[in-house]
Amino acid sequence: MRKILIGAASAGLLFAASCKEHGVPINITEDLSKDSTSVGAVEEPQKKRVLIEELSGVRCVVCPKGAEKLKELETQHPGRVSIVSLHAGDLTTPLSESHQDFRTEDGENLLKQTLGEKSGSKPSSVFDRLPFGNQGYKYLVNGYMDWPDRLSKALDMNPTTPVNIALTSVYDDAKEEYVIEVTVKYTKAVNEQYALNLFLTEDKIIDAQEFSSTNIQEDYEFNHVFRKSITPVVTGKPILPDMDTKEAGRIYWCRTTFKIDKTDEKQRLWNPANMKVTAFASIMDPNNKRVIQVQETKLVP
């Protein structure tokens, strides 16, 4: 794929466009930035995938064990898990040996405003934003030994989903931008308000990780690293907010485009070939933020 890393983007900006209702201070065109709705045949519900949002840090000496546990869970439940690793809160300041800073403003806002924690112990994980927390946390499950139990509970609670999600990502060589399309299909009538969330993550990042005060591994491989939220990170993008009830067969479609800004200090280090787009629908309720369904795809097919 030619021209993978993109130049000539506006300084400090990630997005070239976004879904119609998500305002971004950038010139957009209607044909590349829109959403729509229709009604079609009712589909069989997809099997539920579980979103795991992990808190990690380059100075967290136990976090590599947590990463191993997540890899184990992926293997045990193929196609049923999507992972996002947030470097937010404590123990995330880059080491002197670090090449990259994995901290993001979006990640900090997600931790504080969505999960309601100033920091949180590490490694910790959140499962579908269900109130499975321990040690005084509502959502955060501290200690990787409890993660298999929480994942099993999340899968057992919701084996299927009231919305099916289809997700694609392609690169437009002519315009030097990525085009992401999401289709949400309701498999039953729903009265709750859902939000669409689009996250960017990156795998296979080689950088420094602390294992102890005397052991810094400079060629450690980081995976699922959260890079950016395309939709508003705290609220997501409301799906058909003017409809009180979305009947079975209701279809919501959204297209968004964005560019990677090679002039940005952090974005210029991103490797699109190793990046994924994670799309999920979540309930828009301060007291119930459960993730309804999640799908993922490679940023570069």
- 20-77 residue pLDDT tens: 433 332 223 334 346 899 999 999 999 999 999 999 999 999 999 999 999 999 999 9
Rounded Cα gap, residues 49 and 81, in angstroms: 5
In which domain, by residue range, is 160 found?
30-298
Give the model's pLDDT for residue 19: 55
**Which of 6-15, 153-162, 196-205 shows the lowest mean pLDDT across its residues?**
6-15
> Is residue 240 assigned to a domain?
yes
> Is residue 15 assigned to a domain?
no
> Is residue 192 assigned to a domain?
yes
What is Dmax (Cα atoms) for the chain?
Answer: 61
Nearest to 262 by CA among 4, 3, 7, 2: 7
Nearest to 93 by CA among 209, 249, 192: 209
> Is residue 11 assigned to a domain?
no
> Is residue 125 assigned to a domain?
yes
Rounded Cα gap, residues 197 and 280, in angstroms: 5
pLDDT confidence tier of residue 3, bands split at 50, 70 and 90: very low
> Residue 178 is inside which H or E element, if any?
strand 177-186
pLDDT confidence tier of residue 233, bands split at 50, 70 and 90: very high
What does DSSP say about strands 81-86 and 50-55: parallel, antiparallel, or unpaired? parallel
Average pLDDT over residues 141-169: 96
Distances (CA, A) of 6 to 9, 25, 171: 7, 20, 11
> Is residue 6 assigned to a domain?
no
Give the model's pLDDT for residue 9: 37
> Is residue 266 assigned to a domain?
yes
Specify the number of domains making up the chain: 1
> Is residue 256 assigned to a domain?
yes
Place of tokens 């799906």: 239
CATH code of 194's domain: 2.60.40.10
**Which of 117-121, 275-279, 291-295 shows the lowest mean pLDDT across its residues?**
117-121
Rounded Cα gap, residues 69 and 162, in angstroms: 29
